[in-house]
Structure 1
């Protein structure tokens, strides 16, 4: 599955994790491949299924 990078950034900013959100903006491609980046998403405690359901900003 692929998720728009802005969804990941928004989820991190909602949790007040600004530095992590900034890093994601700089380092990850858009869209983000959840299979390829599963470990990173787990480290950030982000569930791809939850991100897929977020409304677009």
Structure 2
């Protein structure tokens, strides 16, 4: 069975080396509340990252 994820929020932030650590901590802490956090490089700007919040 496949879970449906709903995008709650997306924002772009300046690329920083340790941002993934924050996303990792949020995922570990809030998974019981059915929240998932994502981080990806922006396709058009390598100095920008896209931070997303999902409800699973």
Is TM > 0.5 for Structure 1 vs Structure 2? no
**Higher fraction of helix:** 1
TM-score in terms of structure 1 length? 0.30
The TM-score normalised by the length of structure 2 is 0.31
